[in-house]
Structure 1
């Protein structure tokens, strides 16, 4: 939680956009560049660093994450002090983005080893922190900008404080983390009973072999399309609700739109724990049937009831964002079910490249079509109708990909000698 609550600050980058645009004469696209690069680097660093994280252990990974994420803020502070915006892009986007990726996957394999009986709940707890990080960072950053100022010097001081405080907070995670002993099991739990469930195995598959399976690529499509369908709303939430009800008798104020964004962030966070924990009961394939199938139906409700009023729109958006967050937290448990716990962190890292693609595709679809519709003279819900139907189509494709998931063929399994269940020495002794 200490790692994910910190790196979850990325979802609060929008707080810095207005002061950066005014102080550095940037466009909206320019001020978003550090965030966009950070998300791309998250996926790439998780993919390329996943195997190293498994080999070195969670403590090493959390320390690297802390060093990169905090250094990114410090480099950004220097960039603002010197009026060199490229340093902000390099610091927050490139260096900090590496910290995001390594930090994001750092607790995954450790958690599923501590909680082999409830992997959905375990990963949901940690990844919930990433969704909730903005609830802390947004008001905190806003208050610092108010105190230090929104000019270049004030932004530099804010970045500096962020770098120092996050370094301290993330250090607690690196110091406290432990991996269980190789033979440790929860009291009264028999792994043979779990293996009797569909799509759950006690065998192990390496990260290299996982890439050769159709199951990996089916889940890549599932994650990519589920994230694409949610991140578009998350990125466009405030203007979307404003546009939907701009021509009604009760238009949405700026403060109400901000409250809507906060509500979506809360839904994103709680969905990561609640739905993921529920997947331990009904199974991972069934829960993704729910995320994707129900998500498509809810988008259809939005499209067909555009004049139904704010409560219907808000409820639908909240549920969709809970599925968006839950998709992130449930996928590590799905991977553990299919491929075992041997290199699940490395496999998860490679799968997160789907997030990099979706992080670009989702906003591009929503923003691009809305801009085109506005240029065509359309207003209100009509700005988003076409985008909504595209999202429905993407979720249906994701649903089909999930249906194609089958148990991994035994030819991809590792032998006991190839997949030793030995805890990394650098991670600390088992307890």
Structure 2
């Protein structure tokens, strides 16, 4: 029994996930995508709100008595939940994503990405099963606990699990590597939302809206993909570098270090809090727009979206349905820009530098936010949409670029844990951005401002936030030399030394000495080694194609569905 437990423990340990010689580093990004595409469904959870708001009434919502207390509404089985109550699940997602990433970031660095990925799968999929039971029993607290709290912890673990690993595999392309993985989080809703819609339609009956069955089915599907992704993670050996690559010297780029800052030191530095502010301000501006994209387009342009010179308030119910369909296309287009921006901007940051990339976000974003009201007053829908497509690409790009920025400033040894702490900025922005957009809108409506002008003041305020972000970004400087860990400290944390690495290499090639005693034997051994490598490379290529197909095919399906909805905008 103890032997079996030891074997199991060693299999899930970080040491057992160290890549063997000749491992293809391009197998790691699809493993990361497999997890991020699953947990990214958090962005698409709103697809469940309307069906869940009539889980009891089925065809129509069954309203609760007005005098019912909040506690009674949480445990009642006789009437339906309000969408405002269901929306708390979304808030819990991102509160627990940021907090769990901060709490478990250091554990991830020692336990390794495999354990973290499996823990994320257990939390995210287990949370869906608890939510399914909550829907079946009509207990909304189980939905909050299952998906919001436990699922939110899974989001945090799954989100940060590949960051440190990918940065270490791609020191020459840090931005591109993290951009590929974090792109998956933005793309998860494009796959999950239409999949959930189809599953709910399949499971729906005259007495059920089909949500709890959909949760169970999606939990099973996601568990397979997430476990596959977690088991596909590998970490590079100590001292590994890509063939032919040499680290940049300090003189060549002072903003990229080859040293390491400890987590306990990093989060106390001015650089950490400046980058925290950079992420908070960039995300606050974008996330507020995401939450209000559909009503914003409808209220700003009203009947102009369907060729009528009337405002939103003067539209008939049928006309409002038509412009709602157009606004859905706008939302889909923004999602594509959010996803594409994560890869485009993060990859571009490898050439431009992280500081310059963020400066572009803030300067360009300022002008676009400030110009959006002008585009609205001109009635130019295409220009208005273009502005926000670029804005949302930079919103996604900010998420994908920040891990590489952290690695540049603090080194790679603790970057996963540091990134976890920094994601509390996301939780903060998730409250700040929507509050700014929603409450300023409501305040102006209450004071008689026309619907087509209620977002103007908001755009100027968001532009101001970006100015503050630019100031913070420009203030970032290299970390003081005294704050870096010594080589001995790094070696002690890795529990290895140069001598230990040498011993590991010697053990891996223990038989080599036996083959070099005679030239003919050595030549024969080399030929056999080449044949073995050829067979291995053939299998590795097949595995690489399968791995990318496993994530590429669902992503392509989600993109095609989104594009179909987007075409309505330009119809």
- Normalised by the size of structure 2, how large is the TM-score? 0.72
Post-superposition offset of 1:247: 4.5
1:242 matched to which residue of 2?
A: 298
Q: Does 1:306 align with 2:363?
A: no
Q: Secondary structure at the match of 1:322?
A: helix
Do the aligned partners of 1:289 and 1:399 also contact (CA within 8 Å) in 2?
yes
Q: CA 1:64–1:263 in structure 2 vs 1: closer, same or farther (change >3 Å)?
A: same
Residue deviations 1:277-323 (CA, integer Å, cap 9, x gap): 00000100000000111111100110233223110110011000000
| Alpha-carbon distance, 1:11 to partner | 0.7
1:356 to 427, 439, 448: 427
Distance 1:385 1:398, change over 3 A: same
Work out the CA distance in 1 between the residues paired with 2:268 and 2:433: 27
Cα displacement (A) at 1:422: 4.0
Where does the alignment leave 5 or more consecutive residues of structure 1 unmatched? none
Residue 194 of structure 1, CA deviation: 7.0
> Could you say which residue in structure 1 is the equivalent of 2:237?
181
| Kept after mapping to 2: 8 A contact 1:114/1:180 | yes
User: 2:483 aligned with 1:402, yes or no?
Assistant: no
CA 1:231/1:78 → structure 2, altered by over 3 Å: closer, same or farther?
A: same
The 2-side partners of 1:169 and 1:231 are apart by 28
**Structure 1 residue matching 2:489: 3-state secondary structure:** coil
Give the equivalent residue in structure 1 for 2:136. Answer: 81
**1:107 aligned to 162, 167, 186, which one?**
162
Question: Does the Cα contact within 8 Å between 1:295 and 1:395 map onto a contact in 2?
Answer: yes
Offset, 1:76: 0.1
SS at match of 1:417: helix
Quote the offset at 1:380 in angstroms. Answer: 3.0
Q: Which residue of 2 aligns with 1:129?
A: 184
Answer yes or no: is the 8 Å Cα contact 2:349–2:401 preserved in 1: yes
Q: Contact between 2:302 and 2:323, CA under 8 Å: does it hold in 1?
A: no
Pairwise mapping of residues 23-422 of structure 1 onto structure 2 (< 5 A)? Answer: 23=55, 25-149=80-204, 154-193=210-249, 196-248=252-304, 250=307, 253-308=323-378, 309-420=380-491, 422=494
> How far has the Cα of 1:14 moved from its partner?
1.2
- Number of positions where the alignment pairs a residue of Structure 1 with one of Structure 2: 427
1:138 Cα offset (Å): 1.2
Distance (Å, rounded) in 2 between the aligned partners of 1:423 and 1:377: 66
RMSD: 1.9
Cα drift, residue 187 of structure 1 = 1.1
Is the contact between residue 51 and residue 209 of structure 2 (CA under 8 Å) also seen in structure 1?
no
Cα distance between partner residues in 2 of 1:240 and 1:22: 26
1:81/1:152 contact within 8 Å kept: no
Helix, strand or coil at the partner of 2:183: helix
In structure 2, distance between residues paired with 1:220 and 1:423: 31
Measure how far apart 1:195 and its partner are: 6.5
> Shift in Å at residue 25 of structure 1?
2.7
Q: Is the 8 A contact 2:301 2:376 kept in 1?
A: no
Give yes or no for contact 1:42–1:100 (8 Å, CA) kept in 2.
Answer: yes
In the alignment, is the contact (CA less than 8 A) between 2:130 and 2:142 conserved in 1?
yes
Cα distance in 2, alignment partners of residues 38 and 334 from structure 1: 25
The Cα of 1:361 is off from its aligned counterpart by: 1.1
- Alpha-carbon contact 1:228-1:358 (below 8 Å) kept: yes
Residues 350-398 of structure 1 deviation map (CA, whole Å, 9 limit, x = unaligned): 0000000101111111111112222223333311112111101111000
